[in-house]
Amino acid sequence: MPRQPRSYVRPVEVLVPYVLVALSLLGGYLAVPGFLSSNHLSSLGQSAAYLGIIALGETLVLLLGGIDLSVPYMINLAAILVAGFQFSGMSATPDIILVILIGLGVGLGNGIGVALLGINPLVMTLGMNSILQGVALLYSHGSPLGEAPNAVTTLSTAWWHQIPDADILWLALTVIVTLVLAFTTFGRSLYAVGSNRRASELSGLPVRRTIVLAYMLSGLTATIGGLLLVGYSGQAYLGMGDDYLLPAIAVVVIGGTSIFGGKGSYVQTVAGALLITVIESILVTVNVNEDGQDILYGVIILAMAYFNQIAVSTSGIGSGTLGRTLGPFRGWLEPVRSRAEAEAALPEPSAGVGDSG
Amino acid sequence: MSTVPISTRPRRARRPPWHRAYTAAALALVLFVIYLVRNHGFGSIEALGITNAALPLALAAAGETFVILTNGIDLSIGSVITLSNVVCAVIAGNGHAPLAVAAAIAVGAGAGCLNGLMVSFARIAPLIATLATSSIYLGCALIVLPNPGGSVPGWLSSWTAGSAGAVPVAVIWLAVAIVAGWVILRRTSFGINLQALGGSESASRSAGINVTRTRILAYVASGTCSALAGVVLAGLTQSGDPTIGAVYLLDGIAAVVVGGTSLAGGIATISGSVLGAIALSLVSAVLLVSGLSTDYQYIVTGLIVIGALLAHTLQGRLGLRASRHVPASRGEAAG
């Protein structure tokens, strides 16, 4: 019988973001009349589904210790292409299949660059984003044509009773991804590579294949996100993915997945997407301007990152947490020791870029 | 009787990694030659256009270099440029131009300081900390100036975007940036500490370097440089714009990468980043005179960035000109 691998996911860390979602829903209920009406909840769920599905690939790549910055123009290109192919007379099924294949192909390109050529993922996907932007501009000549195929619009905006179709898709993807992460070789390898790539290589894990596959899945989910967004707005426009670059990463971080890889889960990202969507909705309905939203957004990311950082640096959330929270400031509280000694006694700060080489 | 003079100057740790800046220099030169051939000449108007486009990017890239040198990253440069740009334009619009420049630079330095504190004391990963503060600074910029507006006096424009005879002022500033970058990185204790910190944090700590202060100062330097870029842009456009900085985030990192700075930290030249910024600015100029759509600019830039990093990675692997072995740390090859 194989030994049970150590847990990469701690129940309490999964629970915390969901508790925050519940609290923010409660806050919305108190602040905005009709916030918990079934119609509003359904439309919240629909928006959260777009964000959550886009962040799925980013979760996998971050678990690996990588990053995917090509998400914005992956989304935009998928949206422009699916509408453009429709305009040039392609029927819905080959249209959608072709766009999805292109998304997988771009992800493959990212994966090959990172895994086989050894290019830093930040730069590889940054460059890829620039290339995709150029392709999107050249293809559309600055003004995208066509409309989303009906199937895409239905998937994106239709509701089955009170449940948006997009949420059914999201739920299905969540279940699949969670099972894949927990039970397949690919899923286990993803955590292993994210924890320690060298050790994974020496253990004979298919490291390169895992990396390539993760980036392909990131291309796939960004493409699906692009399809959903074009289905929602009906037409494609340039820059429609720009608003998703930072949220896609932020949602993963807010959920508690470590950007250093090897720790976290997609279930946490789901909570992150729900939390951000609910809070944004509250802010919009109580008439907080874009400036206030931006500031609060940043504060939430900082707060959650700090919380997660504490959760990572201690062995859990328990009685010792407060003392360790004071860790960085203990040097100031203890006058006996010199500053240098106090600093030397502290653990290494996690000050590297996720995984930049 | 004579005493042996004891040099108090510290020995230089190693030769500066100039070879990594050659790629950017060669690229800029090639693009410039193509430009000359295509455009059948090069006058002061063309020089003005190219250097004015390059200067803000070069400043942003120079600032980012300090942070990347510490094995960090600053994703807030775009928002800091925007914030200092609108602060400068709004205060200058009320008739206090010198105060406006000072305030813009102070805001940039303060923003950088906050980034440094988040990274050093809250111990949040630089990527996340600066991602979050980027959102906060953008929100602040929107409060200061929700729509494009403000104004800048003529002297500020001529100081940043004008010409001194046939020579664009921006050329002088680019040269100043290169020299100042060299002095700061190679001739100050801050620069030496910074390189040590990027090379090995624990070794720097053991050597008695105040790691926390050095790291915070790197972020302050980045914020200050971004603020200078924001002021230059205010001079260039003669107004403030709350969307102006967005493009400089990714382009700034791209220029640093083309300039040969290692994303693993410890190896960087400011001149490389400045040359990288000039090279990236030349791309659109070359496309324009070649009669190609500037949409190709994004594709070419993307290929250049990936190609440049690939070249540096291969250079490191083959050990070409490498003055020391660069370990393939977790990053250089990992997922």
Nearest-CB residue to B297 (from A122, A123, A134): A134
Instruction: Indicate the SS3 state at residue B216.
Output: helix
Positive or negative, the CA dihedral B323, B325, B329, B332 is positive
Single pTM value for the model: 0.84
Would you call A123 and B129 a contact, using CB atoms and an 8 Å cutoff?
Answer: no
Check if the beta carbon of residue A31 is closer than 8 Å to that of residue A282: yes
The ranges assigned to domains in chain A are: 11-345
Nearest-CB residue to B293 (from A138, A293, A355): A138
* The one-letter amino acid at A132: L
Size of interface A-B (CB pairs under 8 A): 234
Residue B279 has pLDDT above 90, yes or no: yes
Give the per-residue pLDDT at B284. Answer: 84
- Reported in sequence order, the residue ranges of chain B that DSSP labels E, i.e. its strands, are 163-164, 167-168
Chain A residues in contact with B133 by the CB 8 A cut-off are 298, 302
Give the pLDDT confidence of B186-232 residue by residue, as tens digits.
Answer: 899 999 999 999 888 889 999 999 999 999 999 999 999 999 999 99
Return d(Cα B128, Cα B37) in angstroms, integer. 45
Return d(Cα A247, Cα A297) in angstroms, integer. 9
CA atoms in the 13 A half-sphere facing the CB of A50: 25
Residue A187 has pLDDT above 70, yes or no: yes
Chosen from B298, B305, B310, B313 to mutate, greatest number of chain A CBs within 10 A: B298
Nearest CA in chain A to B255: A123
Nearest CA in chain A to B145: A291
Residue B255 lies in a domain: yes
Return d(Cα A338, Cα A345) in angstroms, integer. 11
Give the per-residue pLDDT at B319. Answer: 57
Give the pLDDT confidence of A235-249 residue by residue, as tens digits.
Answer: 899 988 888 888 899
CATH of range A11-345; options 1.10.287, 1.10.10, 1.10.3470, 3.20.20: 1.10.3470
Strand-pair partners of A159: A164
Residue B33 lies in a domain: no
Instruction: Indicate the SS3 state at residue A144.
Output: coil
Return d(Cα B3, Cα A274) in angstroms, integer. 75
Portion 92-121 of B in contact with A at CB < 8 A: 118-121
Provide the phi-psi class of B334: left if phi over 0, else alpha when psi is between -120 and 50, else beta.
beta
Average pLDDT of chain B, as a whole number: 86
Residue B87, class by beta-carbon neighbours within 10 Å (0-12 exposed, 13-18 middle, 19+ buried)?
A: buried
Chosen from B131, B147, B206, B296 to mutate, greatest number of chain A CBs within 10 A: B131
- Reported in sequence order, the residue ranges of B117-190 that DSSP labels E, i.e. its strands, are 163-164, 167-168
Give the pLDDT confidence of A210-236 residue by residue, as tens digits.
Answer: 999 999 999 999 999 999 999 999 889
Give the pLDDT confidence of B85-97 residue by residue, as tens digits.
Answer: 999 999 998 888 8
Please count the structural domains in chain B: 1
As a three-state string, the secondary structure of A186-251 is: HHHHHHHHHHCHHHHHHCCCCHHHHHHHHHHHHHHHHHHHHHHHHHHHCCCCCCCCHHHHHHHHHH
Confidence of residue A352 (pLDDT cuts 50, 70, 90): very low
Residue A3 has pLDDT above 90, yes or no: no
Nearest-CB residue to A328 (from B121, B250, B309): B121
User: Any idea of the CA torsion for B272, B277, B280, B282, to the nearest 10 degrees?
Assistant: -100
User: Can you give the CATH number for the domain in which B183 is found?
Assistant: 1.10.3470
Residue B97 lies in a domain: yes
Chain B residues in contact with A305 by the CB 8 A cut-off are 122, 124-125, 128-129, 132
Helix (H) or strand (E) holding B56: helix B44-69
Q: Which domain holds residue B283?
A: 19-28+44-316
Predicted ipTM of the assembly: 0.83
Best-predicted range by mean pLDDT (A93-107, A182-196, A283-297, B45-59): A93-107
Confidence of residue A90 (pLDDT cuts 50, 70, 90): confident
Residue A320, class by beta-carbon neighbours within 10 Å (0-12 exposed, 13-18 middle, 19+ buried)?
A: exposed
Return d(Cα A227, Cα A185) in angstroms, integer. 29
Give the pLDDT confidence of A129-151 residue by residue, as tens digits.
Answer: 999 999 999 999 888 888 889 88
Residue B237 lies in a domain: yes
Question: Angle CA(A50)–CA(A54)–CA(A58) in degrees, nearest 5?
Answer: 155
Residue B330 lies in a domain: no
Question: Angle CA(A325)–CA(B108)–CA(B257) in degrees, nearest 5?
Answer: 85
Confidence of residue A311 (pLDDT cuts 50, 70, 90): low
